[in-house]
């Protein structure tokens, strides 16, 4: 036998003590309180640094902000917008006016974006109309209870007239006079419609 914590026993004394303890241990059905288990303690996985960062970075965000990006169609289906943390952009297909972006083969829809100091016409290489599909950034309608429209067999998120979306300090409102989007911090905004537009 080895050493017992606190004192040293002789071989006979140890065997006698064990003989007395065995019936007691059997009756208790386990180890006496305070003894060490020979089995290693169960492993408890601690969250990885990336999981911890993700959890802490999501604190204080709205349900829409947790999605990161949300996109929608106007009821006219002529304008589609995307709101994300860095800014807002809206594509328009048909206009009754001349905008500042010349038609190009690789620019199917001209875009107004508000990412820098003021809103500007530009040409995005990807489409907000694709973003607005429910399987993409239009998926917010599943949790927020928005309207969907099936176009060419694909469901799209639609922001009905009178409704608005707000996240990351940006707000877009659907009106019959067009979509109005603004950056709440400084009031910079734009309105985009088939017959006219405003950039402020």
Q: What is the pLDDT of residues 10-25, one digit of tens each?
A: 444 444 444 444 444 4
Range of the domain at 150: 63-199
* Residue-level pLDDT at 102: 63
* 101 against 61, higher pLDDT: 61
The pTM score is 0.69
Structural domain includes residue 105 = yes
* 18 against 171, higher pLDDT: 171
* Residue-level pLDDT at 39: 43
* Residue-level pLDDT at 58: 67
Q: Is the pLDDT at 117 greater than 60, yes or no?
A: yes
Structural domain includes residue 33 = no
> Per the structure, how many domains does the chain have?
1
**Average pLDDT value over all residues in the chain:** 78
Structural domain includes residue 75 = yes
Structural domain includes residue 38 = no
* Helix%, strand%, coil% for the chain, nearest 5: 20, 30, 45
């Amino acid at each position: 036998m080895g050493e017992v914590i606190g004192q040293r026993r002789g071989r006979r004394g140890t065997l006698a003590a064990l003989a007395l303890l065995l019936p007691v241990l059997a009756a208790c059905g386990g180890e006496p309180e305070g003894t060490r288990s020979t089995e290693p303690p169960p492993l408890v996985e601690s969250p990885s640094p990336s999981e911890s960062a993700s959890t802490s970075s999501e604190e204080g965000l709205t349900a829409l902000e947790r999605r990161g990006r949300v996109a929608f169609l106007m009821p006219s289906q002529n304008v589609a917008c995307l709101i994300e943390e860095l800014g807002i952009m809206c594509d328009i297909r048909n206009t009754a006016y001349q905008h500042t972006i010349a038609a190009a083969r690789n620019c199917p829809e001209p875009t107004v974006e508000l990412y820098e100091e003021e809103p500007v016409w530009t040409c995005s290489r990807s489409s907000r109309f694709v973003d607005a599909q429910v399987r993409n950034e239009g998926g917010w309608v599943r949790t927020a209870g928005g309207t969907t429209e099936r176009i060419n067999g694909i469901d799209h998120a639609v922001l009905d007239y009178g409704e608005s979306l707000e996240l990351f300090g940006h707000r877009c409102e659907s009106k019959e006079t067009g979509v109005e989007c603004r950056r709440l911090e400084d009031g910079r905004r734009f309105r985009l419609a088939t017959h006219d537009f405003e950039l402020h």
